Amino acid sequence: MAVTAGSSPTGAAPVRSWRAWLSQYSWLGMGFAFSLSLFYLVMFVIPFGTAIWLSFNNWDYIQKPVFVNTRNFDKLLGDPGFWNALWTTVRFSAVEIFVALSLALLLALALSHLRPVYQYTLLAIYNLPVIMPGVVSVLLWKWLYRTNGGAFNAILESVGLPAQPFSRSPDQALWCITLMVVWIFLGNSSIVLLAAINEVPDSLLEAAQLDGASAWKRFTAVTLPLIQPAMAYQVVTSIIGTMQMFEPFQLMPGPGHSTRTLSLYTYQLGFEVLNLGYGAAVSIAMFVILLSATLFELQRRRKSWDY
Amino acid sequence: MTATTTDLSRLSTPYWQRTRWQTWLLIAVLIGGGVLMLYPFAWLVLSAFKLPADIIRIPPTLWPEEWSLDAFQVVLSHKIGGGSLARSYLNSIFVTITTVIAVLITSTLGGYCFARLRFPLREPLFYFVLSTTMVPFLTLLIPLYVVMDRLELLNTLWVLIVPSIFSSFGIFLCRQFVYGIPLELYDAAKIDGAGDFTIYTRIIVGMMKPVISVLAIFSFRATFNDYLWPLVTITDAGNYTLPLALRGIGNSFGWFDYSKVMASSLLTLIPPLIVFFIFQRNLVKGIALTGIKG
């Protein structure tokens, strides 16, 4: 590092050495760094610090916040609402990721056997729901899930199956949302996987084929290890995306608290019951859980992709 | 698949060239899946043209008995509080375009600065920016609302733009990309006497086109579709963006009038569809190129 040049004590006037120190840097770079720091200070550091601080206080937005030490976190540990929301979030997230990723992998594998022109055209169709605002998807699916006269029940009845309550049933509501979310993100996940599969060298697959490896063996021994980083990326972004998902749970809720996730719980505490301190505590818990889940997943995957 | 026997004649052909019937079978299955994906979408489009009597039919029929533009007319003149769908349209477009342009400028400039320019604390600052992506938005939601309240931005369109001016993901993506631009290009321009900013506008931006289109789509999608942040910060219906207006329409029309909800959804989908069809190919290429794979 040439940074030490500025501090050379060769008897030069301090002003000169200060200038020398400064002259090695780019004005554009420093200007950018300054505005960036200012932005992240106001939009990230202060809010994040406030969230931590708030979690040790009680505040209803009107009166002065009251310091309550760790009482919010004590309350959280014994709050069935929190544990219920966490359990709902985890079930939704795990099932959504497993189903969506399996389907996306199948889709990407199938597409990889086609010429690029067909790949793009078919992907465009599968990718269509991704571009729709979440609110549009929810309003649409809510209507399709309707108990009386909904399209899905009409299909079930036309093949002789009994009509289902779907979103009206506490047992089915969460899985109705999960199916919709799989529908939304399927195409998007397969883009990343397809990009990775297309990069697997043909020569490796041909060599494996020459050695008599079956299609399944070629997939598990050649393709799958090589697309591991893309899978990891997809899993991690899906964890982050599903844990924070909000629209479906607010706009298509099941009965009672059957579809109340951590994100909806945080929102309700902060903006409906105005218990901002406790809301902040729940959101901090959410941050810790998300961070651990992400790091755990990265660590687990990393082991298998050191080749 | 049954074709596991070694067939030497096929080995030099590309991986995607299977036997003809296998390819057709694959395409047939994929199109079948595509139809399933489009099925809910078909309900959205066709129901928007239905009359009230048609839309509540039991069992429901996908195809409209009589095509009608009534729903569009009703929705376009419908008042949502102090606003309207048309007003929300303008709000959404203004917010989205401003945000996308801001994100593109700060990200390309940021990528260039972090990859090529020297300034104090460069690396710590970059890793700090990267680490902010680990904090869920829900954690920042309540305090960010308070900050916006203090800045007196609540209930204005700026509250939707200002927090998104810098994008950690965008800066990261662009930095990776700028590292891939040969140093010789940069040095040659430097010798010719070009300043940092000239190099950025004349050389770097031009070379970043692929990454710019990916970033533009991501940023468009995130801003145009955003629901939670506007829901919290915008209470004046005149400043509603489209997702909020749609929620309002969803609340004010019942199952009986659902063609109105579908008609406004269809109108909402026009800008994303345009963007999507322009950029779809770039998106696939761009993702392969951004090095997400490793």
**Segment B223-234, tens digit of pLDDT:** 999 999 999 999
CA distance to partner chain B, nearest, from residue A246 (Å): 7
Q: Is the pLDDT of residue B51 over 90?
A: no
CA distance to partner chain A, nearest, from residue B80 (Å): 16
**DSSP codes, A176-238:** HHHHHHHHHHHHHHHHHHHHHHHTS-HHHHHHHHHTT--HHHHIIIIIHHHTHHHHHHHHHHH
CA distance to partner chain B, nearest, from residue A11 (Å): 24
> Is the same domain home to A23 and A87?
no
Q: Where are the domains of chain B?
A: 8-71, 77-289
Residue in B196, B227, B293 closest to A246 by CB: B227
Share of chain B above pLDDT 70, in %: 89
**Which backbone phi and psi does A72 adopt, to 5 degrees?**
-65, -40
B139-161: average pLDDT: 94
Cα dihedral across residues B185, B191, B196, B197: positive or negative: negative
**H/E run at residue B117:** none
> In chain B, positions 66-95, which contact chain A (CB-CB < 8 Å)?
none
CA distances from B281 to A122, A156, A176, A204, B103 (A): 12, 37, 32, 27, 21
Give the pLDDT score at A76.
Answer: 92
Q: Is the pLDDT of residue A16 over 80?
A: no
Flag if A183 and B37 touch (Cβ within 8 Å).
yes
d(CA B219, CA A161): 43
A217-240: average pLDDT: 87
d(CA B163, CA B155): 14
Q: Is the pLDDT of residue B290 over 70?
A: no
Share of chain A above pLDDT 90, in %: 48
Give the pLDDT score at B288.
Answer: 61
CA distances from B223 to A14, A131, A257, B22, B165 (A): 49, 11, 29, 42, 11
CA distance to partner chain B, nearest, from residue A95 (Å): 19
Give the pLDDT score at A223.
Answer: 86
Flag if A32 and B110 touch (Cβ within 8 Å).
yes
Of B160, B147, B143, B141, give the one whose Cα is nearest residue B243. Answer: B160
A55 within a domain of the structure (yes/no): no
A120 within a domain of the structure (yes/no): yes
Quick one: pLDDT band at residue A148, thresholds 50, 70, 90?
confident
Quote the tokens at residue A110: 């199938």
**DSSP codes, B70-99:** HHHHHHHH-EETTEEHHHHHHHHHHHHHHH
CA distance to partner chain B, nearest, from residue A51 (Å): 6
CATH homologous superfamily for the domain B77-289: MetI-like (1.10.3720.10)
> Is the same domain home to A169 and A254?
yes
Helices (H), B180-257: 183-191, 196-199, 205-207, 209-225, 228-233, 242-252
B122-131: average pLDDT: 93
> Is the same domain home to A244 and A103?
yes
Flag if A113 and B243 touch (Cβ within 8 Å).
no
Question: Which residues of chain A make contact with B287, given a CB cutoff of 8 A?
Answer: 191-192, 195
Cis amide leading into B59 (omega within 30):
yes
Flag if B143 and A286 touch (Cβ within 8 Å).
no
A202-216: average pLDDT: 82
Question: Which residues of chain B make contact with A134, given a CB cutoff of 8 A?
Answer: 225, 227, 243
> Is the same domain home to A190 and A248?
yes
A249 within a domain of the structure (yes/no): yes
**H/E run at residue A66:** strand A66-67
Flag if A37 and B166 touch (Cβ within 8 Å).
no
Quote the tokens at residue A189: 């996940």
CA distances from B141 to A227, B136, B137, B236, B241 (A): 35, 9, 6, 19, 18
CB A74 within 8 A of CB A307: no
> Is the same domain home to A9 and A98?
no
| Residue A186 near chain B (CB below 8 Å) | yes
> Is the same domain home to A246 and A166?
yes
> Is the same domain home to A170 and A27?
no
CA distance to partner chain A, nearest, from residue B119 (Å): 5
> Is the same domain home to A94 and A148?
yes
A188 within a domain of the structure (yes/no): yes
> Is the same domain home to A150 and A39?
no
CB A301 within 8 A of CB A83: no
DSSP helix, strand, coil percent of chain A (3-state; round to 5): 75, 0, 25
Cα dihedral across residues A59, A65, A70, A71: positive or negative: negative
Flag if A270 and B128 touch (Cβ within 8 Å).
no
CB B60 within 8 A of CB A150: yes
> Is the same domain home to A242 and A143?
yes
**Segment A49-98, tens digit of pLDDT:** 999 999 999 998 888 888 998 899 999 999 999 999 999 999 999 999 99
Question: Which residues of chain B make contact with A191, given a CB cutoff of 8 A?
Answer: 283-284, 287
> In chain B, positions 239-278, which contact chain A (CB-CB < 8 Å)?
242-243, 246-247, 250, 255, 258, 261-262, 265, 268-269, 272-273, 275-277
A23 within a domain of the structure (yes/no): yes
Domains: count for chain A: 2
Flag if A51 and B34 touch (Cβ within 8 Å).
no
Which CATH number fits the domain that encloses residue A83? 1.10.3720.10
3-state DSSP call for residue A58? strand
**Which backbone phi and psi does A305 adopt, to 5 degrees?**
-115, 15
| Residue A220 near chain B (CB below 8 Å) | no
**Segment B23-32, tens digit of pLDDT:** 888 888 999 9
Question: Which residues of chain A make contact with B269, given a CB cutoff of 8 A?
Answer: 131-132, 136
Flag if A280 and B228 touch (Cβ within 8 Å).
no
Q: How many CB pairs under 8 A join A and B?
A: 281
Flag if B43 and A32 touch (Cβ within 8 Å).
no
A35 within a domain of the structure (yes/no): yes
- Residue A229 lies in domain: 73-304
Please calculate the CA angle A7-A13-A17 and round it to the nearest 5 degrees: 35
**H/E run at residue A67:** strand A66-67
Flag if A199 and B284 touch (Cβ within 8 Å).
no
| Residue A26 near chain B (CB below 8 Å) | yes
CB B60 within 8 A of CB A159: no
Q: Is the pLDDT of residue A7 over 50?
A: no
Residue in A214, A246, A262 closest to B228 by CB: A246
Residue in B113, B195, B268 closest to A32 by CB: B113
The DSSP bridge partners found for residue A67 are A57
Quick one: pLDDT band at residue B3, thresholds 50, 70, 90?
very low
| Residue B197 near chain A (CB below 8 Å) | yes
DSSP state of A162: P
Which of A39, A57, A58, A140 is most worth mutating to test chain B (most B CB atoms within 10 A of its CB)?
Answer: A140
DSSP state of A163: P
